[in-house]
Amino acid sequence: MLIHSADFTCSYVDWKKCPNSPEPEYAFIGRSNVGKSSLINTLTERKGLAKTSNTPGKTQCINFFLINKEWNLVDLPGYGYAKTSKSNREVWIKFTKEYLSKRPQLRNTFILIDARIPPQKIDLDFINWMGEKGVPFSIVFTKNDKPKKTLANIEKFKETLLEFWEELPTIFITSSVTNAGREDLLSYIDEVNGIEIIDIEDEI
């Protein structure tokens, strides 16, 4: 997929206020500092599109970016560590989970996992929550610029997932330093965009 345009459109702190737009949505989520903003900037080839962790005053919102005037890239708040109070954190965990479980436009969620560290309970708990709710997702390993150093973590993560799941979800291995995995991820979005959604009620 070639990126012709990538425009920030709006930010929300309440999922119910998200626009009633027809475009399919692809959400990106992961622990704070996982490399989400860097990946979004790499995917869109726009250096400052998503604000990186180093940006002062980075807030916890649902951010919409319209890509190629065709689909929405949705940047969700990072979970886990964040420089905010416990009550703030609870509020955005609630609206993020509501967005994920209720948003009709959502076609897939990319759950980002830092390949440089061993499997973390917080990520596995989140993945299992997605499974329980039946929300479609893929796993994206980030910071994979030195594959020899991350291979063992990735293998361990897959093994751990197979303790809970019968089969593995779609997995992408990426680096915002080398651009690894960028094409695969964008092609996947292209593919899913091409799948026609049939409303079962229309068929009856």
Task: Provide the token pair at 8.
Answer: 């920030």
User: Using the rule CB under 6 A, is 84 a contact of ligand GDP?
Assistant: no
Rounded Cα–Cα distance for residues 136 and 115 (Å): 21
H runs (alpha helix) in the chain = 36-44, 86-102, 121-133, 147-164, 182-193, 200-203
Q: How far is the CB of 161 from ligand GDP (least distance, A)?
A: 21
* CA–CA distance, 126 with 129 (Å, rounded to integer): 5
Q: Which two tokens stand for residue 141?
A: 């390993």
Answer yes or no whether residue 120 interacts with ligand GDP by CB under 6 A: no
Could you say whether residue 38 binds ligand GDP (CB under 6 A)?
yes
Residue 135 found at the interface with ligand GDP (CB under 6 A): no
Query: CB of residue 149 vs ligand GDP: minimum separation in angstroms?
Result: 10
Residue type, 98: E
- 97 binds ligand GDP, rule: CB under 6 A: no
Cβ neighbours of 167 (radius 10 Å) = 6
Nearer residue to ligand GDP within complex by CB, 37 or 72: 37
Residue 52 binds ligand GDP (CB under 6 A) = yes
In b/e form, how buried is each residue of 134-155, taking b as 16+ CB within 10 angstroms? ebebbbbbbbbbeeeebeebbe
77 binds ligand GDP (CB under 6 A): no
Stretch 137-166: interaction string toward ligand GDP, x if CB under 6 A: -----xx-x---------------------
* Binding characters for ligand GDP, 161-180, by CB under 6 A (x = yes): --------------xxx---
Confirm if 29 and 110 have CB atoms less than 8 A apart. yes
Please work out the total of residues on this chain that contact ligand GDP, with binding judged by CB under 6 A.
17
Residue numbers of the site for ligand GDP (CB under 6 A)? Answer: 30, 32-38, 52-53, 78, 142-143, 145, 175-177
